[in-house]
Amino acid sequence: QVQLVEFGGGLVQSGGSLRLSCAASGTFSSYAMGWFRQAPGKEREFVAVISRSGGSTDYADSVKGRFTISRDNALNTVYLQMSSLKPEDTAVYHCAAERTLRFDPTRLRVAAKYDSWGQGTQVTVSS
């Protein structure tokens, strides 16, 4: 397993931008990396995922065109660039790692498939 720590959350106005970072220990390049979020009283939901090499990505429809996931395997870090933020994006954002040989977006949208999780970082978007 890898250890994951998220950074970069905060309070932003509607329409603003934030970049989240997730620093990992261990053999980072062996893992597909995902971002999930959980709002109060709601289930954890998929946001985005990136393959081990960074060559493939997948996004939830609710964030497509506004969020961009990327990774730097030399720095053991995955990023989530969030733009045009909306109040409904308010949630705790978690990064997660899944050790996989094949990038299967359908499978990687499921939180239970992930091996390791970070503690989360709060993102609050004010209207």
Kindly report, residue by residue over 43-89, the tens digit of the pLDDT: 999 999 999 999 999 999 999 999 999 999 999 999 999 999 999 99
Q: What's the whole-number mean pLDDT along residues 95-102?
A: 93
pLDDT for 1 beyond 90: no
Q: Which amino acid is at 90?
A: T
In angstroms and rounded to an integer, the radius of gyration of the C-alpha atoms of the chain is 13
Q: Are strands 121-126 and 91-99 parallel, antiparallel or unpaired?
A: antiparallel
* pLDDT at position 5: 97
Look at 88 and 101; give whichever has higher pLDDT. 88
> Where on the phi/psi map is residue 27: left (φ > 0), alpha (ψ -120 to 50), or beta?
beta
Torsion angle (degrees, nearest 10) of CA 2, 96, 41, 18 = 110
* pLDDT at position 94: 98
Phi and psi, residue 40, nearest 5°: -55, 130
Q: Three-state DSSP class for 29? A: helix
